[in-house]
Structure 1
Amino acid sequence: MEWAEQLPKREALYGFILRRVRDPFLADDLVQETLTRLIAYMQSNKVADSLAFSLRIATNLISDHYRMRGTGHAEVLEPEMACHRPSAEQTVMARQRADALARALERMPPLRREVFIRRRLHGQSYREIAQALNLNVAAVEKHVVRALEWLHSEMGREGAR
């Protein structure tokens, strides 16, 4: 079955549909119906771009769904019209997580913070950090592990507040 290799990734199709219907169960049903129709079509026809074709099928199914329900949501955004920016809520939550991370880093012991920042933010190797801070590699590794444990613990406390 050479057509089976041409099927689009289910996750991409699901995300496309979910952004439009905002109902995970309905999105699952529409993904299934889209793939069923795509496979049936591909068994007797050649499709140059299966992802684009499946997105068109999905768009039509979404329109049909809303039209049959009579909800007035028959207008579906085209892929090029969809906004890929995070929502205001997602932006606020990300900002809060970043602030919590900054506070946790400030409370971290200075040497551990320095090692962590050099490793995780600047991408330095354990050996480079060890040489720069006059430590052995094992100590640098322990500092990184403890820094991650510290951050995990502190972020958990921040989330509980």
Structure 2
Amino acid sequence: MNTIAALKQGNLLVFNEVYYSWHKRVYYFILQKTKSSFIAEEVTQLTFIKCWNYRENLADDLNIQLQLFRIARTTLIDFLRKETVYKEKVIHVIDKYTLPVDDLWGKLAEKELQVKLANALKKMPPMRRKVFEMSRFKGMSYQQIAHELSLSSRTVETHIFQAIKQIKHYLGFLLSLLAWLSRF
């Protein structure tokens, strides 16, 4: 029986066969494009979920490999679009609520923020941290980072967005406290 026809009929054995035959290849395809194991894992999983959920829409005249990689590519594009929606918000919030260091509370708050930021950076995957540090601490543009690390500008942008999102999550309470203290 044809693989596409079997998938359309809901044959789980054939789907498992396709999954185990192509999972690693799809993963490495996405990893090569993004240089992010996190994104590669997420997009690969979503690719196979979409393949199964929309199996009735698979083309009978195209092989499964071509269709899987098309699904992976469009899934990656969708994933990156969704992830870049809020990319600059955390840095804006951090800049907005930086306190003057003239007073003891300001110095303590700034020190606490630096410690929390350092801890948030330590928890990031190495490539994400490196890209974020090159952008925010060395002042490099996305293009410069992309060139130096052999990444696409879009991948750099995604790493920055993910880093900001992670920092925002990690610093959430502290930023609220700093905003409140800055009113006095």
Output the TM-score relative to the length of structure 2.
0.39
Structure showing greater Rg: 1
Structure with higher RCO (Cα < 8 A, 6+ apart) = 2
- TM-score, normalised to structure 1's length? 0.44
